[in-house]
Amino acid sequence: MTQPDPRPATGWADLFAEGRLPRFVLICLGVWLNAADALVASTIMPSVGADLGGHAYFGWATAAFLFGAIVAGASAGRLSELLGLRRATLLAGVAFVGGCLLAALAPDMFAFLGGRLLQGVGSGWLSGFAMVAIAMLFPERHLARVFAAVAGVWGVATLLGPLIGGLFAQAGQWRGVFWFFAAQGVLFCLAVPWLLSGTAPARSGARVPLRQLLVLTVGVGFIALANLTRTPLSTVATLAAGMLVLVGMLRLDARAPVRLLPHDAGSPRTAVGAGYLAMFALMAGSMGLTVYAPVLLQMLRGVSPLSAGYVVAAQAMSWTLAAFAVAGVSGATGERRCIRTGGMLVAAGALLLVFTLRDAPLAWVVASAVVMGAGFGLSSSLSNRRVLGLLHDDDRAIGASAFIAMRQTGGAVGAAVAGAAANAIGFGAAPGVATAQSAAVWVTATGVPFACVGAWAAWRLTRPTTRAAQV
């Protein structure tokens, strides 16, 4: 009697088997470089300003990094097809190291901003190519575990990134931060040719959709500028222009012979489009906590900068723990339950923050962050896996590279909307206790509609009839 084939192994031991462990480590290193480097600027910028001058350009350092990261991340899928995964990833490492060196050697603020822009490009490619590598090199049964590990790397970076920057700044050696990351980038570049040998070679006839990338660059540029404007009207006008340009890019991409995004990515009526909308909107809904909670907690509660930062880190830690808790979930029912519950928890956390950040006990603020983080942890890894499962093979590279770019774009939009609310009540021009109390309500309230849209999109992503229609 013939015995049925055993079920394929899905545990961590099997994930690391067959030579996958070194590649897994390389992917995690790339994600770490992107995540940690993105977070150090907040703690070293006062030292940079004291050394190079140009305090008025503080916001540009973050905007330049984010601008480069989003555009590069969106292009990563097509670039990996054009160059092959190994050469494309090596290019990302070289760009990242170059940006670190330019910032470390910067003689003035403008050179430093150029370094941050180049670091953003390298970081966006690093994260984008990491997503492509996950989609191409790991069996579907392991995707949730790998994405959970990526979430864990982000969580660790949230804790250590600002701390690393603070230690270097406290020692009066802010340039050492970039030498530190440049050294790690060099190790990454040395490992890439060996560990990615023979993976996802260049595709014959592959092209990069330059028109869509140009339009995306303009749209993201407007959104980055919206984060820097000082009046409510200019913020809203610039943000609206950026959103209109991005919508135009989606329409252009849908009709283009060479697409930047997968089929139906711009249509929330489909499961794929709903998945990307959930990524965008849920991240936008969390920006009140990420961007404004630390400064508001310092002003309204008198907590230290480090303690305020670790309130936000509570979100990252709960995200990581929840992602690992559901990494072994298989089957449509369990996946659907986790994704839907996660979306609703993000929305609940955003709503809870509206009522707690102003004057509730600090424990309630931490609880809001934990609820929101748990929602992301339950939903994000499984959403990534589900969307990948819906894509045609030809769309897997561009579909995977869009995950982080879509979330980063949502973060930029959410931060700009929260900034418009802060400016409208006078917090940007005259930060004080009274305006901080108003800001604690309104900047968090701006995230609730985004989070609710994201929860709806997560629900739509998991509709059985929608999935069946596209597989």
Q: Which two tokens stand for residue 81?
A: 């097809």
pLDDT band for position 278 (cuts 50, 70, 90): very high
Report pLDDT digits (tens) over 156-184.
887 787 778 878 877 888 899 999 999 99
Q: Which two tokens stand for residue 198?
A: 């023979």
Rounded CA gap, 467 and 94, in Å? 40
Contact assessment for residue 265 and residue 273, using Cβ atoms and an 8 Å cutoff: yes
pLDDT band for position 428 (cuts 50, 70, 90): low
- Specify burial of residue 187 (Cβ count, 10 A radius: 0-12, 13-18, 19+): middle
User: Quick one: what percent of the chain has pLDDT higher than 70?
Assistant: 93
Contact assessment for residue 100 and residue 151, using Cβ atoms and an 8 Å cutoff: no
Identical topology for domains 20-199 and 265-471:
yes
DSSP assignments along 137-181, one per residue: HS-GGGHHHHHHHHHHHHHHHHHHHHHHHHHHHHTT-THHHHHHH
pLDDT band for position 57 (cuts 50, 70, 90): low
From the CB of residue 396, how many other CB atoms can be counted at a distance below 10 Å?
A: 19
- Write down the pTM of the prediction: 0.87
Report pLDDT digits (tens) over 78-133.
999 999 999 999 999 999 999 999 999 999 988 999 999 999 999 999 999 999 99
**Mean pLDDT to the nearest integer, 437-458:** 94
Report pLDDT digits (tens) over 286-343.
988 887 888 888 888 887 766 777 787 888 889 989 998 988 888 888 999 999 999 9
pLDDT at 467 over 80: no
Instruction: Give me the pLDDT at residue 466, please.
Output: 44
pLDDT at 269 over 60: yes
Rounded CA gap, 105 and 349, in Å? 42
From the CB of residue 223, how many other CB atoms can be counted at a distance below 10 Å?
A: 24
Instruction: Give me the pLDDT at residue 468, please.
Output: 37
Report pLDDT digits (tens) over 353-410.
999 999 889 999 999 999 999 999 999 999 999 999 899 888 998 999 999 889 989 9
3-state secondary structure of 47: helix
Instruction: Give me the pLDDT at residue 306, please.
Output: 65
Report pLDDT digits (tens) over 251-260.
999 999 999 9
* CATH architecture classification, 265-471: Up-down Bundle (1.20)
pLDDT at 469 over 60: no
Domain ranges within the chain, ordered by starting residue? 20-199, 265-471
- Of 42-56, 396-410, 411-425, the range with the highest mean pLDDT is 396-410
Contact assessment for residue 227 and residue 59, using Cβ atoms and an 8 Å cutoff: yes
**Mean pLDDT to the nearest integer, 221-243:** 84
> Does 1.10.150.130 match the CATH number of domain 20-199?
no
Provide the H-helix boundaries in 53-142: 58-83, 85-104, 109-137
Rounded CA gap, 84 and 86, in Å? 6
Secondary structure letter of residue 429 according to DSSP:
T
- Of 224-233, 314-323, 459-468, the range with the highest mean pLDDT is 314-323
pLDDT at 59 over 80: no
Instruction: Give me the pLDDT at residue 446, please.
Output: 93
- Gyration radius of the chain's alpha carbons: 21
Rounded CA gap, 309 and 317, in Å? 12
